[in-house]
Every structure is written in structure tokens, then in C-alpha cells.
Amino acid sequence: MAGMTVVGAIGVFFRYVLVAPIQWSEEVALGLFVWLVFVGAAAVSRHGMHIPIDILVVLLPPATQYWLRIVVHLIVLVLLGAFIVIGWSFAITAWDSRTIALKLPMFWIDLSAVRAAVRTNGLTSPTLTIA
């Protein structure tokens, strides 16, 4: 996040103070932002820190809550698997696509989604336990 802030500030300074914009600053800030979003989402999910919407779940008996959580976690694992397969396919096809200013492969930006899906583990989340 600090890198994104620094690059953004440099871009603003050059564009509005020196009136000589640097072409790569927005591109780098956007790439860092994409990585920040996916890495942050994976970290929050891995530690069970997403805000739960459990208004109906808390009304169920504890045993039913437990089995419902298992079903939800299995669905999440299936979706993460699909996310990995589809995301990898998308990243591979983006290898020939280059960023405008730095001419880097878009693969490296698209890979952030795959990395996030790999780092997210639906079964080890603390929310699987019964309170």
C-alpha cells in the first residue's frame, strides 16, 4: 500500500507541479492496487475476518449450523478451484498483451487473482468451528 501511495504521489507531483507527467506512474499504481486487493482478500479470507452475514444462520440449531458451514466451505473450495483454473487460463492468454507504458506482460497483473485463490483455504477458516 505504501508503494502504491508513493507512486501515486510522485505521479501527481510530476503532473500538476512540474507539468511533466510520467507515463508509467498510473500503470504501476494500478498494478499495485490490483495485487493489494487480491492479496488482501486472500489474507482476510484465510483468517476468517470477512464480515459474516449470519442473520438466519444464528437462528438454526448448532448442529445444523455446523453442517451448513461445511457445505458452504465445500462450495467455496469448488469456486476457488474454478477461479484458479479460469484465472490461470486468463493470465496465460494475457502473456502477449503488454502494458502501455512499461510494456510488461499483463500476465503479472492477472496472476494476482490466481495467487489469491491459491492462498485462500476454505477449510481451515476459523468460522468452521461451533461457537
Distance (Å, rounded) from C-alpha 50 to C-alpha 97? Answer: 34
User: For residue 6, is pLDDT > 80?
Assistant: yes
Distance (Å, rounded) from C-alpha 46 to C-alpha 74? Answer: 15
* pTM for this model (two decimals): 0.72
Residue 84: which of 95, 92, 74 has the closest Cα? 92
Query: Residue 86: what pLDDT?
Result: 92
Render the chain in DSSP notation, one character per residue.
-HHHHHHHHHHHIIIIISS---THHHHHHHHHHHHHHHHHHHHHHHTT-SPP--TTGGGS-HHHHHHHHHHHHHHHHHHHHHHHHHHHHHHHHTTT-B-TTT--BTHHHHHHHHHHHHH--TTS-GGGS--
- The pLDDT tens digits for 72-118 are 888 888 988 998 999 999 999 988 899 888 898 999 998 988 988 88
